Amino acid sequence: MGEFVRLEVSDGIGTIRLDRPPMNALNTQVQEELRAAAHEAAERKDVRAVIVYGGEKVFAAGADIKEMATMTYTEMVDRSGDLQSAFTAVAKIPKPVVAAITGYALGGGCELALCADFRVAGEKAKLGQPEILLGIIPGAGGTQRLSRLVGPARAKDLIFTGRFVDAAEALRIGLVDQVVPDEKVYEAARELAGRFVNGPAYALRAAKEAIDRGLEVDLDTGLEIERQQFAALFATEDRTIGMQSFIEQGPGKAKFVGR
Residues with active-site annotation = 63, 108, 111, 131
Residue type, 206: A
Determine the Cα–Cα distance for residues 81 and 175; give it in Å rounded to an integer: 25
The phi, psi pair for 168, rounded to 5°, reads -65, -45
Residue type, 47: V
Burial degree of 113 (CB within 10 A; 0-12, 13-18, 19+): buried
Instruction: Give, in order, the Cα–Cα distances in Å from 187 to each of 41, 45, 46, 132.
Output: 20, 23, 20, 34
Instruction: Give, in order, the Cα–Cα distances in Å from 253 to each of 16, 39, 45.
Output: 31, 32, 23
Contact between 170 and 125 (Cβ < 8 Å): yes
Choose among 55, 130, 48: nearest CA to 95. Answer: 48
